[in-house]
Amino acid sequence: GENVEQHPSTLSVQEGDSAVIKCTYSDSASNYFPWYKQELGKGPQLIIDIRSNVGEKKDQRIAVTLNKTAKHFSLHITETQPEDSAVYFCAASKGSARQLTFGSGTQLTVLP
Amino acid sequence: DAGVIQSPRHEVTEMGQEVTLRCKPISGHDYLFWYRQTMMRGLELLIYFNNNVPIDDSGMPEDRFSAKMPNASFSTLKIQPSEPRDSAVYFCASRDTGTSGDIQYFGAGTRLSVL
Tens digit of each residue's pLDDT (9 = 90 or more) over A30-58: 999 999 999 999 999 999 999 988 899 99
B42–A104: do the CB atoms touch at under 8 Å? yes
* pLDDT of amino acid B90: 98
Q: What is the mean pLDDT of residues B92-113?
A: 92
> Residue B112's beta-bridge partner residues?
B11, B88
Q: Are strands B74-79 and B19-24 parallel, antiparallel or unpaired?
A: antiparallel
Judging contacts by C-beta atoms under 8 Å, the chain B residues touching residue A105 are 42-43
Average pLDDT, chain B: 95
**Does B1 have pLDDT greater than 90?**
no
Judging contacts by C-beta atoms under 8 Å, the chain A residues touching residue B43 are 44, 89, 100, 102, 105
A41 touching B, CB under 8 A?
yes
**Does A73 have pLDDT greater than 90?**
yes
3 state SS of A63: strand
* pLDDT of amino acid A54: 84
**Does B100 have pLDDT greater than 80?**
no
* pLDDT of amino acid A96: 83
CB of B114 closer than 8 Å to CB of B61: no
Q: Buried (b) or exposed (e) across A66-103, using 16+ Cβ within 10 A?
A: beeeebbbbbbbeebeeebbbbbbbbbbbeebbbbbbb
* pLDDT of amino acid A66: 96
B45–A99: do the CB atoms touch at under 8 Å? yes
**Does A81 have pLDDT greater than 90?**
yes
* Cα–Cα distance for residue pair A19/A11, rounded to 1 Å: 8
Residue of A nearest to B4 (CA): A43
A43–B91: do the CB atoms touch at under 8 Å? yes
Quick one: pLDDT band at residue A1, thresholds 50, 70, 90? confident
For chain B, positions 52-81, list CB contacts with chain A under 8 A: 55-56
**Does B31 have pLDDT greater than 80?**
yes
* pLDDT of amino acid B3: 94
Torsion of CA A19, A24, A28, A33, to 10 degrees: -40
* pLDDT of amino acid B101: 78
Torsion of CA B77, B83, B84, B87, to 10 degrees: -10
* Mutation for testing the A interface, residue in B26, B43, B105, B110 having most A CBs under 10 Å: B43
A46–B55: do the CB atoms touch at under 8 Å? no
Backbone angles phi, psi at B84, to 5 degrees: -55, -35
Contacts of A98 (CB under 8 A, 6+ apart): A32, B31, B95, B102, B104
* Cα–Cα distance for residue pair B84/B12, rounded to 1 Å: 11
Q: What is the mean pLDDT of residues B98-114?
A: 91
- Please give the C-alpha separations between residue A53 and each of A47, A56, A89, B73, in angstroms, as whole numbers: 19, 10, 21, 34
Q: Where are the beta strands (DSSP E) in chain A?
A: 4-7, 10-14, 19-25, 32-38, 45-51, 56-59, 62-67, 72-77, 86-92, 101-102, 106-111
* pLDDT of amino acid A95: 84
3-state helix, strand, coil in chain B (%, to 5): 5, 55, 45
